Amino acid sequence: MTVTMGGALNAALRDALAADDDVMVFGEDVGTLGGVFRITDGLTQQFGEERCFDTPLAESGIVGFAIGMCLTGFRPVVEMQFDAFAYPAFEQITSHVAKMRNRTTGRVGLPLVIRVPYAGGIGGVEHHCDSSEGYYAHTPGLKVVTPSDAADAYSLLREAIDDPDPVVFMEPKALYWSKQDIELPCKRPAFGKAKVRRDGDDVTLVTYGPSVPTALKAAEAAAEEGWSVEVIDLRTIVPFDDETVVRSVRRTGRCVVVSEAQGFAGVAGEISARVTERCFHSLAAPVARVSGLPTPYPAPMLEKTYLPGVERILDAIARLQWDDQPDLTYAEVGARG
C-alpha cells in the first residue's frame, strides 16, 4: 500500500499507543487538531484525551513534564512543533534528558521520545526550517535519529518509543509527503545501522534525513557522467555506524558528506573527521562536505540557493582529484572569498 512518511509516523504512534498503555503523546496542537503536520491525526479520537493531549504552549514545560512522568513509569512521546520552537526546551534536554541516566548512576533512565520536525525545503518562514540536529548530536546521552523514507519512519519511531534511553527523533518535514509502497507494520534494521541506498564503486556519499533524496538524484546524474556513486543513509546520527561508512569509503577511496545543516562545527564535519581518521590511507582525495551555507536559514525565496542541491554535490564529486591533480579550491590560506 502507498504510505506517506507522515502517514507512517502516524501509524507508528497509533501502534505504540495500542501496544503499551504507558505510552503517552502530548505537545502543542497534537490533540483535537492532530498536529500542525497531522502526524498525530486521530489519536485523541481513538485513544482519548488521557493518551494524546494538548499542553500549554511552553516547550521547556513539555519536556520537563515528560521527565517527571518518566519517573512514574510512563513513556512519553512529545512533539516540538518546529525545529526552532524546540530551543526553549534546550536546557531541559541538555541538562536533564541527556544526563539523567548518567547523573543518577544508571538508576533513572528516561524512555522519552522528543519528536522534532526539522530542516527546510518547504518554503517555510523564519524559525521554521532549522537543521538543529548538531546541537543534539553534540550532547552525550541523546540518541539522534532521522528517517528518510516511510518505512524507516515507522520502524525507527517504534524503536525510539521502545528504547530505554531518550531519543531526539528528527523528522525531515520536506519528506512528510513523500510516498512509498510498503506494508505496515514493518521492521527495519535497529539503531546504529546505516543503509546503503545505492551501490557504487567510485565515490561514497554519506548523508541522512532530508538530504537522502537529493544525494540519490545526484548519484543518478553522476552515473551519466561516468561516476559510480554509493549513497549511505545514516538513519541514526547517534549511535553512528562507523563500520558501514568506513567499509564503503575504504573501497571507493572517495567521500562526500552531504547535509542540509550549515557546515561549520556540524554533523557533516564530524563525519568528515571520522572518515579521514579511519580511511586516510585509502583516500584518493580529501573528504568533501556539501552542506547548508554559513548563514541563518534564508527567507523562502532564497532557500534554493541555500540548500545543497544536485549541482553542488556533482561539483564536489568533480573536484575529487580524478586526474590525480591537487584540488586547488583551498589553495589560498584562510577562507575562500
Partner 1 sequence: METTVEAMTAALLPSPNPVQLIDPTGAEVEQAGTRRDYPMPSAARLREVWRAMVIGRRFDIQATALTKQGRLAVYPSSRGQEACQVGATLSITGDDWLFPTYRESMALVTRGIDPVEVLSLLRGDSHCGYDPIATKTAAQCTPLSTQLIHAAGAGYGEKRRGTDNVALAFIGDGATSEGDFHEALNFAAVFEAPTIFFVQNNKYAISVPLSKQTKAPSLAYKGIGYGVPCEQVDGNDPAAVLAVMDVALQHCRGGNGPFLIEAHTYRLDAHTNADDATRYRSSDEVSAWLERDPIARVEAWLRAHGELNDDIVSATNAEAEAKAAELRDRMNADPSVDPMSLFDNVFAARTPQLDEARAMVATELAADSKEV
Active site residues: 128
Residues 132-151 close enough to bind partner 1 by CB under 8 A: 140-141, 143
The answer to whether the CB of 290 falls within 8 A of the CB of 313 is yes
Cβ at position 100, least distance to partner 1 in Å = 8
DSSP 197-260: EE--SSEEEEE-GGGHHHHHHHHHHHHHTT--EEEEE-SEEES--HHHHHHHHHHH--EEEEEE
Taking alpha carbons only, the member of 296, 286, 281 closest to residue 328 is: 286
DSSP-derived pairing of the beta strands 52-54 and 236-238: unpaired
Percentages helix, strand, coil for the chain, rounded to the nearest 5?
A: 40, 20, 40
Q: Retrieve residue 334's grid coordinates.
A: 584562510
Cβ at position 273, least distance to partner 1 in Å = 13
* Cα 80 to Cα 87: distance, rounded to the nearest angstrom: 9
For residue 289, give the 3-state DSSP assignment.
Answer: strand
121 binds partner 1 (CB under 8 A): no
71 binds partner 1 (CB under 8 A): yes
Cβ at position 313, least distance to partner 1 in Å = 27
Piece in contact with partner 1 (CB under 8 A), picked from 60-68, 173-181, 199-207, 218-226: 60-68
How many residues make contact with partner 1 (CB under 8 A)?
46
190 binds partner 1 (CB under 8 A): no
The answer to whether the CB of 10 falls within 8 A of the CB of 42 is yes
278 binds partner 1 (CB under 8 A): no
101 binds partner 1 (CB under 8 A): yes
Q: Which of 15, 90, 96, 217 binds partner 1 (CB under 8 A)?
A: 96
Helix (H) or strand (E) holding 325: none
Taking alpha carbons only, the member of 225, 239, 214, 217 closest to residue 291 is: 214
Q: Retrieve residue 31's grid coordinates.
A: 490533540
Q: Which of 36, 90, 109, 196 binds partner 1 (CB under 8 A)?
A: 109
Q: Which of 242, 303, 315, 327 binds partner 1 (CB under 8 A)?
A: 242
20 binds partner 1 (CB under 8 A): no
CB of 23 or CB of 218, closer to partner 1? 23
48 binds partner 1 (CB under 8 A): no
Cβ at position 197, least distance to partner 1 in Å = 21
Cβ at position 76, least distance to partner 1 in Å = 8
92 binds partner 1 (CB under 8 A): yes
Cβ atoms within 10 A of the Cβ of 161, count?
24
Rounded to 10 degrees, the C-alpha dihedral 250/270/166/121 comes to -100
Piece in contact with partner 1 (CB under 8 A), picked from 54-62, 117-125, 308-316, 321-329: 54-62
CB of 41 or CB of 241, closer to partner 1? 241
The site for partner 1 (CB under 8 A) is made up of 50, 55-56, 58, 60-61, 63-74, 88, 91-92, 95-96, 99-109, 140-141, 143, 164-165, 192, 238-243
